[in-house]
Structure 1
Amino acid sequence: MEYRLIYCSRNRIEGSEQQIAVEIEKILLSSRRNNEQQNITGALLFNGLAFAQVLEGPRSAVEAIYATICEDSRNSHNVLLETGDITKRDFARWSMAYSGPDNDGKLYQHLKLTDCEKDASGVAKRVLDLLKSVVHAHV
């Protein structure tokens, strides 16, 4: 049985747009390398203010990666949106897919931490649906 975890957190990366982009690239390189080793797949959404991420794979590996993320100083206020067993991975082909600001430079305005705290399951569904639509559009 596979396991999925969805969370959101506040961005704590400071600096210019270019400095933030470099730090996001470091996160992606490390995530992709570590996830491949642990048989984890998923996707990361970043809007400049917050992160939302889906992690899929063996439960112990997903929970260990999430614990590491919670300790990472580049984010804070982690809110666990959803966890549970799944029958099929939604991001099976992606060690870590990524979606940032869209082509028009607009951010995903509807990713707000206050919503996460009020309606975690609703936000989890929106995050999952959004990431699936973005990622699958690029397959």
Structure 2
Amino acid sequence: MHRFLYISTVRRTLSDAELEDILVASRRNNRLADVTGLLVVGNRRFLQVLEGPEDAVNSTFSRISKDQRHYAVVQLNNKAIAARSFARWEMGFQRGGDVNEGSTLEEQVASLLEPVADANLKAYFSGFAKSHSQPAGETTNMRH
């Protein structure tokens, strides 16, 4: 198994419909490639982890990095792993805000990461969420 973590910036804020289209395509492609992961969106920044067979993860990231909707794609972590942290998610997703009043991106991500054992992976996502956390109502939630 292999894990690849990256961060990027979208060229413009994406609508909920555009994000939903990305998720539908990602989940379909990931299912076919045996790739799982998590995408967290904070404002115009994306933090995503991909897990699966090394060739499939590298191929998926190569396709993603060519997508013109974002730039400044920076690899944060790329390593072999013993087991997936997101084995059940073709692509988990979290965007700031929640239907629960007062919930922040930081709180939502902490809940998603609760079963994750890898401290470094948790730190990347927790730090990202903390720096991009906003109160409910400022963004929408599309947790899957």
TM-score, structure 2 length as denominator?
A: 0.70
Shift in CA distance, 90/129, structure 1 to aligned 2, threshold 3 Å = farther
Contiguous gaps of at least 5 residues in structure 2 = 107-118, 129-142
Contiguous gaps of at least 5 residues in structure 1 = 109-121, 132-137
Aligned match for 2:93, one of 94, 98, 103: 98
> Aligned pair 1:3/2:11, yes or no?
no
Aligned match for 2:123, one of 102, 120, 126: 126
SS at match of 1:95: coil
> Aligned pair 1:69/2:68, yes or no?
no
Q: Give the RMSD, CA atoms, in angstroms.
A: 2.7
Question: C-alpha distance in 2, partners of 1:83/1:124?
Answer: 11
Shift in Å at residue 47 of structure 1?
A: 0.8
* Map of 1:34 onto structure 2: 29
Question: C-alpha distance in 2, partners of 1:63/1:99?
Answer: 23
Tell me the matched-pair count: 115
TM-score, structure 1 length as denominator?
A: 0.73
Bigger share in helix: 1
* Map of 1:53 onto structure 2: 48
Q: Are the equivalent residues in 1 in contact too, given 2:47–2:125 (CA < 8 A)?
A: no
Q: Are the equivalent residues in 2 in contact too, given 1:48–1:107 (CA < 8 A)?
A: no
> Aligned pair 1:86/2:81, yes or no?
yes
Question: C-alpha distance in 2, partners of 1:71/1:5?
Answer: 16
